[in-house]
Amino acid sequence: MSTEHRYLDAAISPRFRDNTLPPGRPQGPTGPVLASRTFRAALPDLTCELSEVLVAGDRITARLVFRGHFTGTFDGVHGRGQGVEFNAIDIQHVGTDRIVEDWHLEGNTALLAQLGVNG
């Protein structure tokens, strides 16, 4: 089992639901795996800073800052090594032992502008 799947299986339920699913991304645990692969293909050195965490009952809200260098390919565009930084906010509903659903908002406008693929 890959590290990617080991961490995913430990964190999210097999019944995981993405309530803000982008077009073309499959529902369930497969969706986050494909999203991770897409981002890592574009930004192989991608890091994620957990800037803030708020816990309220069975909900966790996290503000994340992603950083990396666009040295790969995204949407047919090849990177030139430029630095990329974008924010995301995730609200996650935790079941008895794992995350069962998620709502997320990424700074896609900033991300696409930095990648040079927005229009």
Tell me which of 115 and 104 has the higher pLDDT.
104
State the SS3 of the chain: CCHHHHHHHHHEEEEEEECCCCCCCCCCCHHHHHHHHHHHHHCCCCEEEEEEEEEECCEEEEEEEEEEEECCEECCEECCCEEEEEEEEEEEEECCCCEEEEEEEECHHHHHHHHCCCC
Q: Where is pLDDT greater, at 88 or 8?
A: 88
What pLDDT, in 10s, does the model give residues 27-48?
Answer: 999 998 888 888 899 999 999 9
Mean pLDDT score, 92-104:
95
